[in-house]
């Protein structure tokens, strides 16, 4: 009788794990379908596209790291590697 209880316990445990895993994946699937409807993801991508289109073709923009400030110390200079031509 004890062996039957152990077997039934294991079977019910496996069933419970299976149900939990199925529910988890169902929630993930539904969330991927439903959550984008509540957030403005398409609007954000449109803003990015509008910014890119607002620039004229041929315009040059330089976007750099602002933390450096564009200042160099007096010790540093521009290093040019060259070869002597005979």
Q: Please tell me whether residue 44 adopts helix, strand or coil conformation.
A: helix
Residue 29 pLDDT class (50, 70, 90 cuts): very high
Whether the pTM exceeds 0.75: the reply is no
Report pLDDT for 83: 81
Whole-number Cα distances in Å, 49 to 43, 44, 61, 73, 79: 10, 9, 17, 39, 39
Question: Highest-confidence range of 1-5, 21-25, 28-32, 45-49, by mean pLDDT?
Answer: 21-25
- Phi, psi at 83, each rounded to 5°: -120, 145
- 72 vs 86: which has the higher pLDDT: 86
């Amino acid at each position: 009788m004890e062996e039957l209880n152990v077997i039934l316990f294991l079977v019910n445990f496996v069933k419970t794990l299976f149900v939990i895993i199925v529910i988890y994946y169902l929630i993930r699937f539904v969330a991927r379908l439903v959550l984008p409807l509540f957030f403005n993801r398409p609007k954000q991508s449109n803003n990015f596209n509008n910014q890119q289109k607002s620039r004229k073709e041929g315009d040059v923009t330089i976007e750099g790291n602002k933390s450096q400030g564009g200042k160099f110390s007096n010790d540093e200079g521009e290093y040019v590697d060259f070869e002597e031509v005979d």
